[in-house]
Amino acid sequence: MKRRCEARFLGRVPYPDGLRLQEALVRDLIAGEGREALLLLEHPHVVTLGRGAKGSHVLLDEMTRASRGIGIYEAGRGGDVTYHGPGQLVGYPIVDLSPDRRDVHRYVRDLEEVLIRAAGELGVTAGRVPGRTGVWATGRKLAAIGVRVSRWITSHGFAFNVSTDLSYFGHIVPCGITDAGVTSLRALTGRVLTLEEVALAVTRHFGDIFDREMEGCGGIERTFGPASGSDSARGAA
């Protein structure tokens, strides 16, 4: 029997609130009291710092940051520096990798596969670049991945550029990569896709790759507010 995973589209969520919601869901799963969830949302303009972040990869000065309304937070995930903002679908899977998926490398590759398949469904041929985490199209990064795994419970996840204003990536060195740019579904297709449309595609492929029965209306549910080993971080969201 497939495990059940609740897909929730939360709309626009301040970054600190997203962190607190993830932490609560992880605690519940570790305690054996919670349910697996795939949180899908967008954040206001924010720069986040992974465990491997270098200060030199943040190119913002305080005046620019204030004038453009960009927050900055330590994320507690793997990876370097990234940007989140409107038009970007952020996914936070809160799932238990026990007993048969206890492999962080495999987990990251599986997340990439979910997004590659979703991009394909939406008309974009995407793939991987050897030695680099994330999903790529036309030599540019379409989606970034940075995860945390605590007692084999996952948190953090991916950032999928849908109609993101790509100029904001100019304020950072995205994921520490200096020789490749970023792109979005809108830049690649010329189509204006809603986040809900992309979230539905991601949800379907997440269920297929992770062998989960995705719950919610049509596989995804709009809802607001929180629901009732070793520690490792990986990737570069």
Of the candidates 48, 38, 126, 127, the one whose C-alpha atom is nearest the C-alpha of residue 89 is: 38
Burial class (CB in 10 A: 0-12, 13-18, 19+), 40: buried
The Cα 221–Cα 177 span in angstroms is 35
5 included as an active-site residue: no
The Cα 134–Cα 143 span in angstroms is 6
Question: Which phi and psi (to 5°) does residue 143 adopt?
Answer: -145, 140
Considering 149, 175, 200, 201, which one is annotated as catalytic?
175
Of the candidates 139, 178, 133, 156, the one whose C-alpha atom is nearest the C-alpha of residue 48 is: 156
Active site residues: 175
